């Protein structure tokens, strides 16, 4: 299936399951037989909460291991896709960004699980919502990913997302109440976004670990979450801080 046919078929899809099957088909055509679709933030316009891998064909064992290790909070791909202006390769993160040891561990173990030549596609939806698609190949060999391939994959993913929103659209008012953050809470979140540990944040800001945790608990309570990553994403989404 080429991109034109994909666009035509997605406009006729009647369910999100059909949509994802079409996405699997077209992504495989570009060399990516593993695909994962996540809602990085809540999507109040369609009544959906944030969720990692809500539609996917990643290896089941890897997904179970990923969840058990709570990798959502340290995965650099998830962290970067929230602020990325365009599609990027996983290798870009390893080559260009200073990853923490636990972040590099996620990348290494993903390859060990059979996810090679990974890419990520950030997507922006209604009311500031953010979604993302991760894709990889189960084959270790192959050439580098070209800009043309990234551009075509991005077009396909954006079409999928628009069609997904269209199918799920319903009149659901936003439920997020107005939230304000103190300057200290913003500072703590900023360093969380950069992958710093509680101890490291304390050293940087001149706080005890208990002090850092105090501010984090306050922030997470405001966003009704137990995830630091989600708190950062919500703060960015509502314009309360910049990365």
Domain boundaries, the chain: 3-168, 183-237
pLDDT at 6 over 60: yes
pLDDT at 11 over 90: no
Domain 3-168 CATH class label: alpha beta
Which residue matches tokens 């060999």?
A: 141
Q: Which CATH architecture has domain 183-237?
A: Orthogonal Bundle (1.10)
- Convert the pLDDT of each residue in 202-218 to its tens digit: 999 999 999 999 999 99
What is the pLDDT, as a whole number, of residue 127? 74
- Convert the pLDDT of each residue in 152-171 to its tens digit: 999 999 999 999 998 987 44
**CA–CA gap between residue 55 and residue 138 (Å, rounded):** 18
pTM: 0.71
What is the pLDDT, as a whole number, of residue 228? 82
pLDDT at 173 over 70: no
Q: Mean pLDDT over all residues of the chain? A: 89
The residues, any chain, with a CB within 8 Å of residue 104's CB and separated by 6 or more, are 94
* 8 A C-beta contact, residue 36 and residue 133: yes
38's enclosing H/E stretch is: strand 34-39
Alpha helices for 30-146 (secondary structure H): 60-68, 76-81, 90-96, 101-112
pLDDT at 143 over 90: no
- Convert the pLDDT of each residue in 65-99 to its tens digit: 999 999 999 999 999 999 898 999 999 999 988 89
Q: Which residues pair with 38 in a beta bridge?
A: 132
CA 3, 131, 172, 21 dihedral sign is positive
């Amino acid at each position: 299936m080429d991109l034109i046919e994909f666009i035509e078929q997605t406009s006729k899809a009647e369910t999100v399951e059909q949509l994802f099957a079409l996405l699997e088909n077209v992504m495989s055509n570009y060399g990516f037989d593993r695909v994962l679709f996540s809602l990085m933030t809540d999507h109040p316009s369609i009544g959906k909460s944030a969720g990692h891998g809500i539609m996917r064909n990643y290896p089941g064992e890897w997904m179970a291991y990923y969840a058990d290790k709570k990798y959502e909070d340290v995965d650099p791909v998830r962290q970067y896709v929230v602020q990325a202006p365009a599609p990027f390769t996983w290798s870009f993160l390893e080559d260009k960004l200073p990853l923490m040891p636990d972040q590099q561990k996620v990348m290494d173990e993903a390859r060990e699980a059979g996810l090679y030549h990974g890419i990520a596609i950030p997507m922006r939806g209604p009311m500031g919502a953010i979604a993302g698609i991760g894709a990889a190949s189960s084959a270790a060999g192959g050439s580098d990913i070209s800009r043309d391939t990234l551009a075509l994959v991005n077009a396909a993913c954006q079409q999928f997302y628009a069609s997904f929103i269209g199918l799920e659209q319903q009149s659901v008012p936003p439920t997020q109440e107005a939230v304000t953050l103190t300057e200290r809470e913003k500072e703590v979140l900023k360093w969380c976004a950069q992958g710093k540990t509680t101890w490291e944040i304390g050293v940087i800001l001149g706080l005890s670990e208990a002090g850092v945790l105090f501010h984090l608990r306050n922030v997470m309570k405001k966003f009704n979450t137990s995830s630091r990553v989600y708190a950062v994403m919500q703060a960015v989404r509502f314009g309360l801080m910049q990365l």
